[in-house]
Amino acid sequence: MVYKDKDYMKKYREKNKVKLAKDKKEWQIKNRQRVREWQRRHYNYKPRQTYLNFEEHCKFARESGIETVREWNECAQRGFLPDEIVHTPNEHFDKNRYEKAHTAYMLSKKSSVRDQTYDVESHIEYIKSRK
């Protein structure tokens, strides 16, 4: 919307400063009520929490007596793990996760670059050489 007076909005804000502040306060109260209502309806909702580091996961596994991946998965399925513990640590703490994902993406494209077939081994060596 184009106004004849370029400073129209500045003048409008200055003139209605008290009214705008009151509207903002009312909006904050109404929004707070809406958030509380949503939380009441979704009482099982858990906000995202930060996970513990790798050493804490190892310490938890030793103290709880978990020795194998199968036992870990069973505890995760039954809900025995706390919220700060990752359910799939082999994926979460994998150092080569980016390389595997990128290689899988390149393989899924199944395209040749300038009539050359894609060689997985050379691509992995290229990624490792970049580090």
Cα–Cα distance measured from residue 40 to residue 1, given in angstroms and rounded to the nearest whole number: 41
Over residues 20-66, the pLDDT tens digits come to 788 888 888 888 888 888 878 887 766 666 788 888 888 888 899 98
Contacts of 46 (CB under 8 A, 6+ apart): 83
* Dist CA 106 CA 112 (whole Å): 10
Helix (H) or strand (E) holding 35: helix 17-41
Q: Look up residue 113 and give its DSSP letter.
A: B
Q: Which residue has the higher pLDDT, 91 or 76?
A: 76
**Start-to-end Cα distance in the chain:** 52
CA angle 98/99/102 to nearest 5° reads 85
pLDDT of residue 114: 45
Q: For residue 59, what are its two tokens?
A: 């310490």
pLDDT for 126 beyond 80? no
For residue 3, the 8-state DSSP code is -
CA distance 72 to 79: 11
Pick from 46, 40, 53: nearest CA to 92: 53
**Mean pLDDT, residues 79-83:** 85
Task: Kindly report, residue by residue over 101-124, the tens digit of the pLDDT.
Answer: 667 776 666 554 444 555 667 767
